Amino acid sequence: MSVSKELYCICRGPHGDRDMVQCEKCEEWYHWDCIGFTQEQADDDFCCAKCLSAEKITEAKAEEKPKPEAGEDLVIRLLENLGDTEMVNCVRQVLAEEQKQSKNK
């Protein structure tokens, strides 16, 4: 490996002939001792803390997004959440009747 004056890692230091690992996401290089990297981890793909936290944020955002539902499924789910009140049972019966009728078509 050629000696360069580029700066790496969370310490923004030079390579300095120390063991380094490259993040598979941002391709930044990190000193093993700066990030507590060990020989056992060397077999796995390395992802730096910066990219890991960025990944967690995108995952959380994806979970926030409600999945698109078909209109009827949404109504039924809503009714299930409301529980067994008289009104809910009534609406359920109407829905069931509508389903029967659409099947008979």
Report if residue 51 touches Zn ion, rule: CB under 5 A: yes
Report if residue 79 touches Zn ion, rule: CB under 5 A: no
Decide whether 42 or 74 has the Cβ nearer to Zn ion: 42
- List C-alpha distances in Å: 74 to 10, 34, 36, 67, 79: 48, 51, 48, 10, 9
Report if residue 25 touches Zn ion, rule: CB under 5 A: yes
Site string for Zn ion, 26-45 (x = CB under 5 A): x----x--x-----------
The angle formed by the CA atoms of residues 42, 8 and 13, to the nearest 5 degrees, is: 115
